[in-house]
């Protein structure tokens, strides 16, 4: 049996209701949304609106109309940052951001002259709300943080940061790529003004769909312009959400799949998913610690992380380990820098990178046992080859 342990990249397998709803839509409907007035097109409109409503409820947000669909969280982040920040604005971020945020900010710094104020994280990738408070200035236009690092798994104190942001009337934007669907997120309570999500990880949907959930009073300039299916004589992008930020045909099959992914999470129970991943996290750490040359990174505390476990075997290249595990033991993990070089700076692995386990709801203890057997065999094969 294959052990898929790369859920931080994308979740696999997908729940059967996700596959069924997408197949049914593709086979029996297939119409665009927001365009036609025939029955199939109206059904597509309804399915898309239902998806917006479910997403809004899922994140405790009151207005489905400000749920904007994109193709992934990277696009969502680009739309929000490039549409909101202007020349001379200052933005506060963490030192453990994914390149989806970091490269977007660097581009804005280069092209628009925004100022990036990076709040340092400790070696486990943890930042504090106090350091965010200290970094605030009169020019701060936005605070943008990931909810959890995709390299270290470390969960940031979003609620406390949200309280500070709210007191100072500065919008808070959160990249929820690693937490949505695994960890409860409450936009209202945590004072999140811009939530960026991706559909294909913990939310259990397919690749190709993500989005933004926005406070209605924020003015975000569209990144792309084009048809929205209405107001066609008006020469500009409509100024109301979601059409303001949604030009072009939506990925309706993907949205239908994401909607079913959220049904799956609601029916299973977010708390149950969260508990299972915590249990697997503890089991994995315990098992990995039985391997003498293991190097584990991050807080190593199930309360402080999502199901992401970075590790190395002392003296061996991570890419070789991942390749061996896949070829010899059908165990799939990631190796490299995982699109977040600053997290590797903290871990001291910027030169060699690290292996990464990404746990998901469908993983079992057997998957971890298979991984550990593979790692032991890898070390054994190395010892044998060094004696030849």
Ligand X SMILES: Cc1ncc(COP(=O)(O)O)c(C=O)c1O
Per-residue contact flags (x/-) with ligand X for residues 208 to 237, judged by CB under 6 A: --x---------------------------
Helix (H) or strand (E) holding 46: helix 39-58
Q: Name the minimum Å distance from CB 50 to ligand X.
A: 22
Among the listed residues 244, 198, 250, the one whose alpha carbon sits nearest the alpha carbon of residue 220: 244
Q: Is 178 in the site for ligand X (CB under 6 A)?
A: yes
Question: 175: closest CA among 55, 305, 264, 78?
Answer: 78
Cα 361 from Cα 18, distance rounded (Å): 15
Q: How far is the CB of 149 from ligand X (least distance, A)?
A: 7
Residue 74 binds ligand X, judged by CB under 6 A: yes
Beta bridge partners of 311: 296, 355
Residue 175 touching ligand X (CB under 6 A): yes
CB nearer to ligand X: pick between 162 and 202: 202
Nearer to ligand X, 90 or 178 (CB): 178
Which letter does DSSP use for residue 35 in this model? S
Residue nearer to ligand X on the CB measure, 125 or 171: 125
Q: What is the largest CA-CA distance in the chain?
A: 77
Q: Are 96 and 346 in contact (CB under 8 A)?
A: yes
Positive or negative, the CA dihedral 62, 67, 73, 79 is negative
Taking the complex as a whole, the smallest distance from the CB of residue 378 to ligand X amounts, in Å, to 25
Indicate the residue whose CB is closest to ligand X.
150
Query: Of the ranges 175-183, 244-252, 259-267, 278-286, which one interacts with ligand X (CB under 6 A)?
Result: 175-183
Query: Which residue's CB is nearer to ligand X, number 106 or number 380?
Result: 106
Cβ(213)–Cβ(66) below 8 Å: yes
Between residue 87 and residue 106, which ones bind ligand X under the rule CB under 6 A? 98, 100
Nearest distance, CB of residue 200 and ligand X, angstroms = 6
| Minimum distance from residue 359 beta carbon to ligand X (Å) | 14
- DSSP annotation of 38 reads S
For ligand X, the closer CB: 175 or 246: 175
CB of 97 to ligand X, least distance (A): 8
How far apart CA 388 and CA 116 sit, in angstroms, is: 54
- Helix (H) / strand (E) element for 213: namely strand 210-214
Q: Site for ligand X (CB under 6 A): how many residues?
A: 13
177 binds ligand X, rule: CB under 6 A = yes
Minimum separation from the CB atom of position 95 to ligand X (A): 14
Q: How many residues does the chain have?
A: 388
Q: Build a one-symbol-per-residue string for 184-203: x at contacts with ligand X by CB under 6 A, - elsewhere.
A: --------------x-----
Q: Which of 317, 309, 319, 275 is nearest to 289 (CA)?
A: 309
Rg value, the chain, Cα: 22
Q: Which tokens hold the place of 167?
A: 């007191």
User: Where does this chain bind ligand X (CB under 6 A)?
Assistant: 9, 72-74, 98, 100, 146, 150, 175, 177-178, 198, 210
């Amino acid at each position: 049996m294959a052990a898929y342990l790369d859920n931080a990249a994308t979740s696999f397998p997908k729940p059967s209701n996700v596959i069924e709803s997408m197949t049914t839509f593709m086979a029996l409907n297939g119409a665009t949304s927001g365009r036609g007035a025939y029955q199939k097109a109206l059904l597509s409109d309804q399915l898309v609106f239902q998806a917006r409503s479910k997403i809004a409820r899922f994140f405790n947000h009151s207005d489905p109309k400000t749920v904007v669909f994109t193709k992934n969280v990277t696009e969502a982040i680009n739309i929000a940052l490039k549409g909101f920040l202007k020349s001379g604005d200052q933005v506060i971020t963490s030192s453990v951001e994914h390149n989806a945020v970091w490269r977007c900010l660097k581009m804005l710094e280069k092209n628009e002259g925004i100022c990036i104020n990076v709040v340092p994280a400790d070696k486990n990738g943890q930042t504090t709300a106090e350091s965010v408070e200290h970094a605030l200035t009169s020019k701060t236009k936005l605070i943008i943080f990931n909810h959890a690092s995709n390299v270290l798994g470390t969960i940031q104190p979003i609620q406390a940061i949200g309280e500070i942001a709210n007191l100072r009337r500065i919008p808070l934007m959160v990249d929820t790529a690693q937490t949505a669907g695994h960890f409860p997120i409450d936009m209202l309570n945590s004072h999140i003004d811009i939530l960026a999500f991706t559909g294909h990880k913990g939310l259990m949907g397919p690749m190709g769909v993500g989005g933004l959930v926005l406070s209605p009073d924020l003015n975000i300039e569209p990144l792309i312009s084009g048809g929205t299916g209405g107001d066609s004589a008006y020469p500009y992008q409509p100024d109301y959400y979601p059409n303001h930020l949604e030009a072009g045909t939506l990925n309706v099959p993907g949205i239908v799949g994401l909607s079913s992914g959220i049904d799956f999470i609601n029916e299973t129970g977010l708390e149950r998913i969260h508990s299972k991943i915590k249990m697997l996290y503890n089991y994995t750490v315990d098992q990995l610690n039985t391997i003498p040359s293991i190097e584990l990174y991050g807080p190593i505390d199930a309360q402080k992380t999502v199901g992401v476990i970075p590790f190395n075997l002392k003296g061996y290249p991570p890419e070789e380990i991942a390749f061996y595990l896949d070829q010899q033991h059908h165990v799939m993990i990631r190796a490299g820098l995982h699109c977040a070089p600053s997290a590797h700076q903290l871990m001291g692995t910027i030169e060699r990178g690290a292996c990464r386990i990404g746990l998901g709801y469908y993983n079992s203890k057997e998957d971890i046992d298979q991984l550990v057997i593979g790692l032991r065999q890898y070390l054994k094969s190395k010892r044998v080859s060094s004696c030849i």
